A and B are shown apart, each in its own frame.
Chain A
């Protein structure tokens, strides 16, 4: 089945130790998004790629970076995780960026920072 896959599902890292989260898709969608979702809060968009074009949200900390080496894969790098970065990280894809373009979400990676 075509889908959005995130690895790992659970990630534990130490304060300040870089960590990379992975997302892949078999939908061949143009757009890939990364969201951060803290407990009982709505997802917060960090950035998205339209094809190879990177679009950062204005309030995304510099600590968060992303790479999209090809259509299928997108990575979220957290350079120096702080305790406040513990959250669920959700990857999503969509065919385009129109209002009616459905975003297909992955299962998420839950990040714990010790």
Chain B
């Protein structure tokens, strides 16, 4: 089973700061997902990464397959970015649909 570790668990920032959330996993994968969940809310899929880097607005996600590590960056953070950010990796073999979720990083951005 893939072990997914996220750091930090909690992160507090001031508006405008650059944010980095890290994710590492133990078993090689072909894709990794970054998700966002606002408190009490549903989940939004932010990125699916299989290599390199993706950018969407102020969000940037990178992955290093060899090092089994991914990072999510938020530039010019805003209070509306406050949410739990979750890294998830698919299981190997025939159950690729089954995601192993990290414990999440609770981000609070203060105005």
A residues with a Cβ closer than 8 A to B are 6, 31, 33, 42-43, 45, 48, 88, 90, 92, 94, 97-108, 110
Contacts and interface: CB of A to CB of B under 8 A. Distances in A.
Label chain B's interface by main secondary structure: loop
Contacts of A33: 97
A43 B43 contact: yes
A101 B97 contact: yes
Interface string B3-29: 000000000000000000000000001
Contacts of B86: 42
B103 A108 contact: no
Interface centre among B30, B31, B41, B97 (most CB of A within 10 A): B97
Interface of B: 29-31, 33, 35, 40-45, 48, 50, 86, 90, 96-99, 101-104
Contacts of A90: 42-43
A40 to B, nearest CB: 9
Contacts of B41: 107-108
Nearest to A48: B97
Going nearest first, the 4 A-B pairs with the smallest beta carbon separation are: A107-B42, A42-B101, A97-B97, A99-B90
A45 B90 CA distance: 12
Nearest to B32: A99
A106 B42 contact: yes
Contacts of B43: 43, 90, 92, 105, 108
Contacts of A97: 96-97
A99 B44 CA distance: 17
A105 B45 contact: yes
Interface centre among B42, B99, B101, B104 (most CB of A within 10 A): B42
